[in-house]
Amino acid sequence: MLPHQSLYHLAKKYGPMMSIRLGVVPTVVVSSPQAAEIFLKTHDAVFASRPRLQVLELIYNGKRGIAFTELGSYWRSVRKICNMTIFTASKFESFASTRKEVLAHFIESLKEAASAKEVVNISKKIGALNEEMTLRMVLGNVKKYQGFNLKELIDELTHIAGAFNLADVVPFLGAFDLQDDFVGTLLKELNQPMNNDGDIMDRNSIKAITIDMMVGALDTSAATLEWALSELLRHPRVLLKLQQELESIVGNKRMVEENDLPKLEYLDMVVKEIFRLHPVAPLLVPRESVEDIIIDGCYIPKQSRVLVNIWAMGRDPNTWSNNAEEFFPERFIDSNIDLHGHDFELIPFGAGRRLCPGKKLGLITVKLILAQLVHCFNWELPSEMSPNELDMTENFGVSLPRKINLCVKPTYRM
């Protein structure tokens, strides 16, 4: 049983806010929206830090990006710089043509497979698509590095236990076109003071931020998309209804554009339902308390860790009724729940000060790719397999992907 699953069953017995000890570290596990709001909103300032993990010190070469940095002036400065330069609506929109180009090539490759009546390993295909999109947005010109397996490197980063220098495996300067990509934007801040505490935006800081962006973009979107296709294959009614919405809004003579996405209400429900049942960070990123605090009569000492089990929260019948385990997008009809960290029933991107800064880009990527896959193709499992036989086992790691790659047979329908 995986960690989030074990903690889910423990919470059923001991309640939505339980204290355990991981080694010598006092740890609080939160498993309900009400408890999550206490930690991530009411007392967000107390629990906004991150624990110092040895493997991260080694991977990041002593520096931190945004996701794993402890609370302090360095993190505040990095967050401010990134929010003002790279995590902006205009910066995300500037890559719309890149996303469109890469996705068009992806669809063409699937059309060829469909024409040949091939069974496709869609997990690997989606992984390669996200890899190219991420490289293009984060690092710029990637023609010299075709065939370089970035995803394999990112997966390895989470397991290595030794000193790491990104420049040894991904040439950092000179080889890339640094005009408009994220790294090029950050390089404009190189060697500039970030605050009054002496922190400088040096090369290691930029490397750490780059790792954060690549890890966040690669695994999360790919895992969400393969779970989405898995659920649609198991629920053909939902797949057909989504295709009907796409035909109504987009028609059958063109591909889905990004400006179509706000009009696709059922697509939004499907994506929310995927995030509810298959959050890619089931325990979010651990938080750490910066001071002693008492919550509901429970003493929580400084430097306690907090794990928010959003996987368990997505299965809570008190929130989602007795069909909480069922894939049923219609539960979001007339619902005001959004994914921006305000509604604690559904917080796949976290909440509070530590809300994922790449949330908007992640949502655009997932919705656009999923809409394109459903609009352009019909999907079926290999002939010897029925939807009920599809293995839905999770694989705990950087994110929460399928344990077994999803293999499907596409049929072009445009």
Task: Note whether 296 and 42 are within 8 A (CB).
Answer: no
Which two structure tokens, joined as six digits, stand for 230?
């898995």
Cα end-to-end span (Å), the chain: 42
Residue 201 CA to its chain's centroid (Å)? 26
Q: What distance in Å separates the CA atoms of residue 43 and residue 189, rounded to the nearest whole number?
A: 33
DSSP letters, 194-221, are -STT--B--HHHHHHHHHHHHHHHHHHH
Name 152's Cβ contacts closer than 8 Å, sequence gap at least 6.
none
Burial of 344 (0-12, 13-18, 19+ CB in 10 A): buried
Residue 308 near residue 316 (C-beta atoms within 8 A) = no
Q: Spell out where 231-385 has E strands.
A: 287-288, 293-295, 298-300, 305-308, 377-380
DSSP result, 126-157: HHHHHHHHHHHHHH---GGGTT--HHHHHHHH
Burial class (CB in 10 A: 0-12, 13-18, 19+), 202: middle
Output the CA–CA distances (angstroms, integers) from residue 49 to 61, 173, 364, in the order listed. Answer: 19, 32, 28
Q: Are 72 and 45 in contact (CB under 8 A)?
A: no
| 376 annotated binding-site participant | no
Cα–Cα distance, 310 to 328 (Å, whole number): 18
Q: Quote the crossing angle between the two packed helices 359-376 and 236-249, to the nearest 10°.
A: 100
Strand-pair partners of 410: 379
Total residue count of the chain as it appears in this document: 414
Residues annotated within the binding site are: 356
Binding-site members for heme are 356
